[in-house]
Amino acid sequence: MQMMQEEFNTLLEKHHLKKTGPRLSVLSVLRSRDMATSQPELEEILGKEIDRVTLYRVLSTFEEKGIIHKVLDLKGTANYAICSAKCNEHEHHDEHVHFNCTDCNHIYCLDGHVHLPEISVPKGFKSTSVNLSVYGVCSKCNKKAE
């Protein structure tokens, strides 16, 4: 736990953000989960620790700074996951596949497991990020079905 706390402190310093309780709590929850997490889920997990407005501000700031990235689930709800260390407020380098489970509605970042194809855009266009989503049934839901 101490190691994670130091990692979070370093991450916040890198992005010129104060180390506040709400920021550290959100980072802790997002890092502890193997799936992207929605704001309503974060509210439920954090309970009375952080009010809705503060949580919204933390998520917005983290997204602006390149600490987290947002991906929409099948219902259109924004979910958040920790970005790679290469991301910053000017560039996101989180080009990876997102797996959307159609049973449990969880979203998984498939970092390093599946490689994105090279995408070329027409002349005059400039690509700034790539988002590829795969839909199906996750391993947890597959095990339940057996």
CA distances from 92 to 2, 13, 96, 120, 138 (A): 28, 18, 11, 18, 26
Tens of pLDDT, residues 55-109: 999 999 999 998 999 988 888 899 999 887 766 676 666 678 889 999 999 999 8
Nearest-angstrom CA–CA distance, 112 and 93: 13
Nearest-angstrom CA–CA distance, 131 and 111: 12
Tens of pLDDT, residues 11-25: 899 889 999 999 999
pLDDT of residue 31: 92
pLDDT of residue 111: 76
Tens of pLDDT, residues 137-146: 999 998 877 7
pLDDT of residue 54: 95
DSSP, res 85: T
pTM for the predicted model, two decimal places: 0.82
Task: Indicate whether 35 pLDDT > 80.
Answer: yes
DSSP bridge partners of 82: 68
Q: Is 117 exposed, middle or buried (0-12, 13-18, 19+ CB in 10 A)?
A: exposed
Nearest-angstrom CA–CA distance, 34 and 79: 12
Structural domains of the chain, ranges and CATH numbers in brackets = 2-145 (1.10.10.10)
